[in-house]
Structure 1
């Protein structure tokens, strides 16, 4: 059996960081993920998907993710239920993330171009630790393979074959 989900979307608000009574970090946030089609009125629709992260990944997400930032989430779907104050059963469907990639850095959040970003992972579900978030670099990095319209000067000695 397989229960894997990969989502790319924007945060609808800043992540909420909490701690369990045992001191385990847990963060909740919602991703707005565009649907692959438009409505009858020609408007683009989105799904708003709740995401939960645990432990080190939760703290990393709380520290670096903000409302509007683009992120990729990998995890599993979990459905849980509880009885509310009125005695009604409430079902909650959410993504338990075990890997989150920050697709925009703090500096590129308001720009179209979001080449280098931050990444974080691990720490969710039953896995123990995780990777800490790291910045993609303090300075802009140019794409060395970008075609600027000029011919590329490569001699036969530079080729490995």
Structure 2
């Protein structure tokens, strides 16, 4: 079974791109807070995610850097060749569902 649910903050502004036959896609990173450390500080895991089609458009329209969201989906792996003919491997979350939790608090 490949099911993932994450709650975290969007790391960078949403960059919507058109690929192929006008399919929309966005790639970003979700900062998911870890448990508190003994000294009281916090840490985070940074999980790459990709959203396609309507989900990508919704993220671009309603979300920005620092917003707290919940994502449901699955993990996927892929590889690609660099210009130097080096194979790079990527593991990322493929988004199925989005829930908006909190806009970034402006200071």
More strand by proportion, 1 or 2?
Answer: 2
- Do structure 1's residue 110 and structure 2's residue 91 form an aligned pair? no
Question: What is the match of residue 21 of structure 2?
Answer: 22
Deviates more, 1:78-87 or 1:4-13: 78-87
Q: Residues 150-161 of structure 1 correspond to what in structure 2 (within 5 A)?
A: none
- Taking the aligned partners of 1:85 and 1:54, their CA distance within structure 2 comes to 25
What are structure 1's unaligned runs of at least 5 residues? 112-161
- Taking the aligned partners of 1:37 and 1:49, their CA distance within structure 2 comes to 18
Q: Residues 126-145 of structure 1 correspond to what in structure 2 (within 5 A)?
A: none
- Taking the aligned partners of 2:84 and 2:34, their CA distance within structure 1 comes to 34
RMSD over aligned Cα, in angstroms?
1.7
Q: Higher relative CO (CA 8 A, sep ≥ 6), structure 1 or 2?
A: 2
- Does the residue aligned with 1:60 lie in a helix, a strand or coil? helix
- Does the residue aligned with 1:103 lie in a helix, a strand or coil? strand
Assess, with a 3 A threshold, how the Cα gap between structure 1 residues 89 and 44 changes in structure 2: closer, same or farther.
same
- Taking the aligned partners of 1:71 and 1:64, their CA distance within structure 2 comes to 11
- TM-score, structure 1 as length reference: 0.61
Number of residue equivalences: 106
Larger radius of gyration: 1
Question: What is the match of residue 56 of structure 2?
Answer: 58
